[in-house]
Structure 1
């Protein structure tokens, strides 16, 4: 479990999304994440591994973790995002249509979701379960921070816990609310991003060149990807995106 957790951290945290978006070769299951790229990124935060061990993990990724996580009569091609399911199936369970974390895996869950967030795992896990059970989910209301399945701890928490340590404007879901706002309406945001340009700009390194990309441009790309996925899922005719502030 620690190996696959480290692999997921590398794929979704260490590898810049721009490197995936700039991948120009024919589609492949690893989305252009080559062995050399994976090894170099993996070793940044996992120096206790030898290079041979890291190459073996890449082999496991290609041979097992990007394959459909359960036996299925219908043939399914390998997919980059199946690695999430190989992890979440061992860490999460679903009770009363609500996801929760297995108590014995709580530390691993916390260490990974602290960096990547919980939604990446909960949404893919529930979508996979619903697909297998042929269930159409109409409720997406579950705790922002998942509960665990230990009944003794759950009993204590149901009695209520008082936390007197409070940060002004720091105890609400600021990031989540801001991201929802951005992903539903990008119009008129250029001036706001201009104020943050210096502190939020980051370096993008691709196989073609090296350049600086602003947070404004990165967010526009995320908005466009979200729009594209929405149109694909709803089977609606795609329309061109126009940004009057670009």
Structure 2
């Protein structure tokens, strides 16, 4: 019996689609593409150096991530930000993250404890930016901040819980990015945030779930309050073209 050649799919376009998806997603979360901004294929193709097909694939995935919206008459646009979305996002993030933290405190071992301490140390050693234009500093701080919060819940033993906590954290980063300079310019606020990080870490390692989750919830709520106080300053209020979202 003769062997028939096996057809091998061309993965080049798929790989390119995944790559551009990751780049677009990173830029959306970082705020480099503004809320409500129209995403035109020709412009994106020029900026990212790719063709229409991988862009279309990437944008379709980003619609599923709720970072991009598609409307028949407008095409693709960056998902808007709003206070109502912020409150909903924070409430769900708090609920799931506190659940994951409790589970991690129950299941975590010495390696989990060591990772928390290492992530906290790296975060505390990271300078905060003096301007939102300091993209590399902002990116590094966000990376280490995410690592610290992930380390707290990493032992929850639930891939789905980790997935949803990560998605909610990414969405909240869109809001936090706009006020990170406010945090760094206020010594009182900066001290409060750092004290909360350290308290959460110490309580988690001490297996004090009630204390750890209470301070985590307070920490999240504090971030929301900072965003709300600076709502207009960081241009989170929506343009006239997105008026429905402002209500």
Question: TM-score scaled to structure 1, two decimals?
Answer: 0.27
The structure carrying a bigger helix percent of its residues is 2
Instruction: Name which structure has the greater RCO, CA cutoff 8 Å, separation 6+.
Output: 2
Question: TM-score scaled to structure 2, two decimals?
Answer: 0.27
